[in-house]
Amino acid sequence: MSLPTAETLRDRARAALQAVGATVELGAPGESGLPASTPVTGDVLCTVPETTPDAADAAIAAAAGAFAQWRITPAPVRGALVARLGELLVEHQADLGTLVTIEAGKITSEARGEVQEMIDVCQFAVGLSRQLYGRTIASERPGHRLMETWHPLGAVGVITAFNFPVAVWAWNTAIALVCGDTVVWKPSELTPLTAIACQALIERAAADVGAPADVSRIILGNRDIGEQLVDDPRVALVSATGSVRMGREVGPRVAQRFGRSLLELGGNNAAIVAPSADLDLAVRGIVFSAAGTAGQRCTTLRRVIAHHSIVDTLVERITAAYRSLPIGDPAADGTLVGPLIHERSYRDMVGALEKARADGGEVVGGARRDLGEGSFYVEPAVVRMPAQTAVVHEETFAPILYVLTYDALDEAIALNNAVPQGLSSAIFTTDVREAETFMAADGSDCGIANVNIGTSGAEIGGAFGGEKQTGGGRESGSDAWKAYMRRATNTVNYSSKLPLAQGVHFG
């Protein structure tokens, strides 16, 4: 399979940016600015203006200033902004999907599916704008009423990773905006073009509905710009998606200034395959979860824990499926596995496979496909491991699937829970007792526990996030909106007396 030229990809990116109304000046490769590259070929396509520290300060100030007006705007009116953003996303789904494919290397269906997530969360948030409910609480004092009210929090800093360059921004932004917050977004330095396109759409939506122009701002740059956002006391909440290493730095720095943080970090996700499992279903779920996005999702399936009675058959079927996966240009029809994001990811994969072999692992696959010197396309790897060694406890952002065996379900659950991460998990079984045990309090310790479906592909209606080193944050659906608001407990005395709580008498 041949790859498109850098010139072709550059032209596609320019056309997509023009279609969404972005007016950014793109510099030639090598010019000053933040380089916009593509893993499809490994080339730098252009450069974009990098945000200076002074400009970042101004962006944060603008968002903090807009908050004063936005927080007193009625929530259903705030919802109109998100509704308009959703309409624009529907109109430009193909354009944004093109940019996601170019910058993140996702195949077309996954790229457009990521934009669909944006549309879905906008629809969810619009409904939420009329459902920011508090509660009424019975008071122990006669003639009194207790209630909880929820209020906007402030400016929200959003830091996103390359692998979901638009969806995670939308998860945070759609919810934050209807909650009355404003947003400052620091996207991955690897995906600036998709971020510029999203910013153009939110600016158009704000103008169309008459919302303050500064409800959502963007800052482009490397680590220093991200640190500026993390450390700024005007940023009430920092929602950061990335590695555990990044989270270890962000969390304490935000806490030091008594800000709030919402962390979505690493995953080392497992699927238990029981003797009763429908293997046709299990293989389909495993292959997509493990090889989709070239293994570069936080919810990627990295461990299969299979019962000893079916493990040989299961591995044979997975490896056969892997051999049939078309690998190459992510925009080409039929491609199912695109590139790794860069050379460092490939080196990490090679290093992990070497460690696995040293630990007695049997590796099938994992070779690099030579499609171009600057690009890194790999065959997904299946590794039979004699035990869950140190390398299996590490998250390698590449398509490596470790296979372990078990005899009893409690042993399998212990293996699932033995790693430091706690994002997603699954069990394939037709035994209702096994399914319920897996989801019980002494079952999977992850934020997501699925039955007869893989570990990836979460819907926006449920809260997304995980435990342990995954960070404990929750985004998107359910009551995740509460992270973006502050709660006040109100006591109303509608009597003419002033009794004190707990029977206290004073005077």
Spell out the SS3 assignment of 130-160. Answer: CCCCCEEECCCCCCEEEEEEEEECCEEEEEC
> What residues pair up with 34 in beta bridges, in sequence order?
48
**Predicted pLDDT at 107:** 98
- Residues 41/376, Cβ–Cβ less than 8 Å: no
DSSP H or E stretch at residue 18: helix 6-20
- Residues 282/305, Cβ–Cβ less than 8 Å: no
Mind listing the pLDDT tens digit for each residue in 182-218? Answer: 999 999 999 999 999 999 999 999 999 999 999 999 9
DSSP state, residue 295: G
Q: Are residues 207 and 159 in the same domain?
A: yes
pTM over 0.75: yes
Q: Is residue 500 part of a domain?
A: no
Average pLDDT over residues 236-249: 97
Instruction: List the domain range (segments joined by +) for residue 450.
Output: 269-459
Calpha distance 312→317 (Å, rounded):
9
Tokens of 344: 């460092």
Residue 472 binned pLDDT confidence (cut-offs 50, 70, 90): very high
Mind listing the pLDDT tens digit for each residue in 53-100? Answer: 999 999 999 999 999 999 999 999 999 999 999 999 999 999 999 999
Question: What CATH number corresponds to the domain at position 446?
Answer: 3.40.309.10
Q: Is residue 496 part of a domain?
A: no
**Predicted pLDDT at 458:** 87
Q: Are residues 144 and 194 in the same domain?
A: yes
Least confident segment among 181-190, 344-353, 454-463: 454-463
Tokens of 99: 């940019």
Mind listing the pLDDT tens digit for each residue in 301-335? Answer: 999 999 999 999 999 999 999 999 999 999 999 99
Catalytic residue positions, numbered: 264
- Residues 258/238, Cβ–Cβ less than 8 Å: no
Q: Are residues 204 and 156 in the same domain?
A: yes
Q: Alpha-carbon dihedral of residues 220, 221, 226, 229, nearest 10 degrees?
A: -40
**Predicted pLDDT at 359:** 97
Over 80: is that where the pLDDT of 476 sits? Answer: yes
Question: What CATH number corresponds to the domain at position 169?
Answer: 3.40.605.10
Tokens of 98: 């093109």
Q: In the chain, pLDDT over 70 holds for what percent of residues?
A: 100
Token pair 């996303």 in the structure block, residue: 89
Q: Is residue 21 part of a domain?
A: no
Question: Which is it for strands 368-369 and 467-468: parallel, antiparallel or unpaired?
Answer: unpaired
User: Count of domains in the chain?
Assistant: 2
Q: Are residues 237 and 302 in the same domain?
A: no
Report the largest interatomic distance among the alpha carbons of the chain, rounded to a whole angstrom: 88
What SS3 state is found at 483?
helix
Q: Is residue 494 part of a domain?
A: no
Calpha distance 197→104 (Å, rounded):
14
The overall average pLDDT reported for the chain is 97
Tokens of 25: 């000046």
Residue 507 binned pLDDT confidence (cut-offs 50, 70, 90): confident
**Predicted pLDDT at 430:** 98
Q: Are residues 276 and 424 in the same domain?
A: yes
Mind listing the pLDDT tens digit for each residue in 395-424? Answer: 999 999 999 999 999 999 999 999 999 999
DSSP H or E stretch at residue 126: helix 108-128
Q: Is residue 224 part of a domain?
A: yes
Q: Are residues 238 and 91 in the same domain?
A: yes
Q: In the chain, pLDDT over 90 holds for what percent of residues?
A: 98
Over 80: is that where the pLDDT of 1 sits? Answer: no
Q: How far apart, in Å, do the first and last CA atoms of the chain sit?
A: 87
Mind listing the pLDDT tens digit for each residue in 138-171? Answer: 999 999 999 999 999 999 999 999 999 999 999 9
Residue 7 binned pLDDT confidence (cut-offs 50, 70, 90): very high
Average pLDDT over residues 115-138: 97
Q: Are residues 230 and 293 in the same domain?
A: no
Calpha distance 344→353 (Å, rounded):
14
